[in-house]
Structure 1
Amino acid sequence: MIKKILLVLMLMVCANSADENTKKGEVDHMAIAIAMVYDGKYDTAKSELDLVDINSPELDRAKYYTIKGTLASKTNQHEQAVENFIKAIDETKKLVYVSPKEAQDKKRKYLFKIGSTSKVVQEIKIDPEFERNRQIKIERLYANLSQSYYKLKEYKKSVEALDLSGENGRNKSGLFAFRADCYWKVGEHSNAMEALNYGYKKFSDVQLLKQKYFYLSELKLYKAAVETAKVYIDKAGKKEDDYLYLAQMLIQAKQTEDAIMILEEGKMIFPSNPTFGLMLTNVYLKKEMPHTGATILENTANIDQKYLKDSVEAFRQVKDYSHALYLNLHVVDQKDNIKQKIAMHLERGEFEQITGLKDAMMRNGMHDDENMIYVLAYSYYMVGDYENAEIYLQLINDNDLFQKATIIRKNIEKCKVNPRECV
């Protein structure tokens, strides 16, 4: 929107650029500057503007400051843009209508006769077309000023300038989203909501509803946010992100059953998106329904294999070891595969199964993992293979594990002296 307005402003000032200087063969630096801005040659445009005689009584100051403001805006010099747009507005307000006949009369330049002490009475003419064009220019300048204030994070001034831009500040739904954003950033939440409501009533743009339910969510007004979000989804069509955001709001509002319903619906509509399954899993875990959560996570792993490891862990947590071991067969990363097996065998006291994994552990470079080495040594100890237990205990250097290894060594010595103590 701002680019279009800037272009219109440049075209408007271009329309009057062929002045008397051009007729005399003089270079019209402002006209060249406008062309350079339009072509994106901003350095050249600035150089041309620097050549403009700002003290000339014939200078069109409104046009000059408009170009300077536009150039500053294009080059992200927003403070200069604000300064020049304000000057352009002031100069545009000062413009006086001059008829074509009067404009051709080179001698009528002043309101006072030279060499006379008496004032010349000059009738101020009002031309409706001239006034209408003046107002259009002023309103477009205010629209540009609003954007520049926004870039400077002067949001209150941005809204004030937008309000003065006439239809330029009200002729698109996005301008009400922009206005609401400014109000929101200065903490005027009710004004932000009012802007969105007015904009939606005028344009029926569902994006304004989306912005509204975001704001309501930030204010923790979850009930109102959910109601608005449902209206938005109904009108805008079903989109993954909207379903997920709505479900998250319902969870935050502790409306768990509604959240489950939305996630289940989203899961059916968007079967290739694993996020619905992950969120459902977390909801069921919070509801202390871990087996249901594990089952959903398994289904999610069928969509995306990277969640298979988590699925194994979920079934291990609910002590469904047989199914966890079945899923573990499909875990591709061998280190993860072996660690999960060891964890399940350890929980079940299946120490011989752990010692049977020794070769697989070594093949996959787990001899550097002292936690796994300790578990292997402990398993050898538990099955009575003290010799292998000693071999792997000697590989431990970690302080905490070393202390545990020392206790095992003492127990091994006792067992060797009196095997009955280890039965």
Structure 2
Amino acid sequence: MKYLTARPIGHLMIVFILGYYCSIGWAADKKSQPTDFIELAAVMLKDGHSDRALIALQSVDLKDKKTDLVRFYTLQGLAYLNLNDFSAAKDSLQLAVKNGQKESVIFAYLAQAHYALKEYRDTIQSIDKAGEHASKANLITLKAQAYWHLKETAAAINTLDEGQRLYPKDFSFLRRKVFYFVELELYHEATQLGRQYLKRSKAAVEDYIAIGSALRLSKQYHEALDILEIARLQFPNNEVVAKQLAHTYLDLGKLNSAAFIFEQAALLNPDLQAEAAEIYRRAGRFHKALILNESISDQKVKLKQRLSILLALKQFERAANMESSLYRSGLLDDQEVRYALAYALFSSSRFPEANKHLDHLKDAELFRKGTELRRLMEICKTEPWQCT
């Protein structure tokens, strides 16, 4: 599920690279460097030009005993990591360690490469070797995610709990735990934690939507309503909240509630008028649907929906009189619309016109229905008393 993905690797890179350059001295002996290409690559990498850094490193003579291999492979690994070439990044960083890189931050970088390559056990092991860096919020999240992918759910949740303990004002751990509980089908706990997160974190509308949607997709409709109704009160003008709430009511079969929400949302976005009218139609409130249908701007949507409403109201003459409008809009290319019009004409005793439209039906099911209409028309001609 999307909400279980880790934070972008690029975000972690920025955090770690800045910390790396600001707080860690490379302690390089300039006499050991036959050229300045390594120094040039370091500057380019720091300035965000990872591709240029790799080009500079290509000019380094690795056979020269004076070459600082630790620094070379570290810089190369960081450059590859920045360019999302995770396999190459892992190889270079491991060579840096093999050649004597002692800085524990190297394992933080390795953890990112392993995670991107879905090597989750190696991710955890690298984080455990990252020393003080292992307690950084981003690495705690990465570790929890690695445990989660390994289906070690208790360890994943315990890791998030540790993150909460270390960073009590960072509510991302609590948020992620909500989605873990949803995935584990612990819906009651997920709802309780979700409410706690939304209350404590001064959550954005996106958080309400994400948690409500997760519960809805898990078919926990009443729990989803609890979250989305609160969101509707706090963000009355948010269209996505309105849609999610309306669709949750639809999932529960509460058509009138869903239609009303769409109707209210249409005051801000008239494009939603058609959905409101359609749901009212499905709910059997045909006159209400017809009123809303008048305001729909998309003529094809308006005419097609209007035809279906008039048929439901058994106002066959009005439906049949839509023929020219349906023709001008191109809707008669839709075989279902053409059959509906033919039915309206049949019900208005305009048999020749109905037959003309039935001649155009190619769809097997609609052709069968058309054949039945023709049979009924013949009965009406010979025994009109049966059609009154």
Q: What TM-score does the superposition give when structure 1 sets the normalisation length? A: 0.76
Choose 1 or 2 for highest CA Rg: 1
Q: Choose the corresponding residue for 1:161, options 126, 130, 142.
A: 126
Asked whether 1:152 is paired with 2:164, we answer no
Out of 381-390 and 268-277, give the one that drifted further: 381-390
Distance 2:192 2:318 in 1: 55
Asked whether 1:178 is paired with 2:191, we answer no
The equivalent of 2:5 in structure 1 is none
| Cα separation, partners in 2 of 1:410 and 1:178, compared to 1, 3 Å | closer
The equivalent of 1:3 in structure 2 is 17
1:44-83 deviation per Cα after TM superposition (whole angstroms, max 9, x unaligned): 422332x2444x3x55554454445445545555445444
| Cα separation, partners in 2 of 1:238 and 1:369, compared to 1, 3 Å | same
Asked whether 1:299 is paired with 2:307, we answer no
Distance 2:257 2:37 in 1: 75
Unaligned segments of structure 1, at least 5 residues = 94-136
Q: Choose the corresponding residue for 2:96, options 82, 88, 93.
A: 88
Q: Is the 8 A contact 1:274 1:300 kept in 2?
A: yes
Distance 1:387 1:252 in 2: 50
| Cα separation, partners in 2 of 1:12 and 1:367, compared to 1, 3 Å | same
Q: Is the 8 A contact 1:226 1:249 kept in 2?
A: no
Distance 2:77 2:164 in 1: 32
Distance 1:77 1:389 in 2: 66
Distance 1:353 1:160 in 2: 74
The equivalent of 1:276 in structure 2 is 241
Q: Choose the corresponding residue for 1:349, options 292, 295, 314.
A: 314
Distance 1:288 1:79 in 2: 50
| Cα separation, partners in 2 of 1:257 and 1:42, compared to 1, 3 Å | closer
Distance 2:43 2:214 in 1: 51
Asked whether 1:143 is paired with 2:108, we answer yes
Number of aligned residues: 370
Work out the percentage of aligned pairs sharing the same amino acid: 27
1:336-388 deviation per Cα after TM superposition (whole angstroms, max 9, x unaligned): 22222221222232221222222222232233333333333333333333343
| Residue 201 (structure 1) shift | 0.7
1:121-158 deviation per Cα after TM superposition (whole angstroms, max 9, x unaligned): xxxxxxxxxxxxxxxx4312333333333333222222
- The 3-state SS of whatever aligns with 2:260 is helix
Q: Is the 8 A contact 2:262 2:276 kept in 1?
A: yes
Distance 1:340 1:307 in 2: 14
What amino acid does structure 1 have at the position aligned with 2:160? L
1:168-207, aligned counterparts within 5 Å? 168-170=133-135, 172-204=136-168, 205-207=170-172
Distance 2:272 2:247 in 1: 14
Distance 1:253 1:69 in 2: 41
| Cα separation, partners in 2 of 1:398 and 1:259, compared to 1, 3 Å | closer
Q: Is the 8 A contact 1:267 1:276 kept in 2?
A: yes
The equivalent of 1:260 in structure 2 is 225
Out of 197-206 and 330-339, give the one that drifted further: 330-339
| Residue 167 (structure 1) shift | 0.9
Q: Is the 8 A contact 1:32 1:48 kept in 2?
A: no
| Residue 267 (structure 1) shift | 1.0
The equivalent of 1:111 in structure 2 is none
The equivalent of 1:309 in structure 2 is 274
| Residue 311 (structure 1) shift | 1.3
Q: Is the 8 A contact 1:284 1:292 kept in 2?
A: yes
Q: Is the 8 A contact 1:17 1:30 kept in 2?
A: no
Out of 35-44 and 234-243, give the one that drifted further: 35-44
| Cα separation, partners in 2 of 1:42 and 1:271, compared to 1, 3 Å | same
Q: What TM-score does the superposition give when structure 2 sets the normalisation length? A: 0.82
What amino acid does structure 2 have at the position aligned with 1:42? A
| Cα separation, partners in 2 of 1:174 and 1:293, compared to 1, 3 Å | same
RMSD of aligned Cα (Å): 3.1
The equivalent of 1:214 in structure 2 is 179
| Cα separation, partners in 2 of 1:375 and 1:86, compared to 1, 3 Å | closer
Q: Is the 8 A contact 2:28 2:68 kept in 1?
A: no
The equivalent of 2:305 in structure 1 is 340
Asked whether 1:370 is paired with 2:370, we answer no
| Residue 212 (structure 1) shift | 1.6
Distance 1:242 1:138 in 2: 38
- The 3-state SS of whatever aligns with 1:331 is coil
Q: Is the 8 A contact 1:155 1:185 kept in 2?
A: yes
| Cα separation, partners in 2 of 1:346 and 1:144, compared to 1, 3 Å | closer
Asked whether 1:318 is paired with 2:283, we answer yes
The equivalent of 2:12 in structure 1 is none
- The 3-state SS of whatever aligns with 1:220 is coil
| Residue 215 (structure 1) shift | 1.6
Distance 2:351 2:206 in 1: 58
Distance 1:184 1:140 in 2: 23
Q: Is the 8 A contact 1:173 1:200 kept in 2?
A: no
Q: Is the 8 A contact 1:42 1:75 kept in 2?
A: no
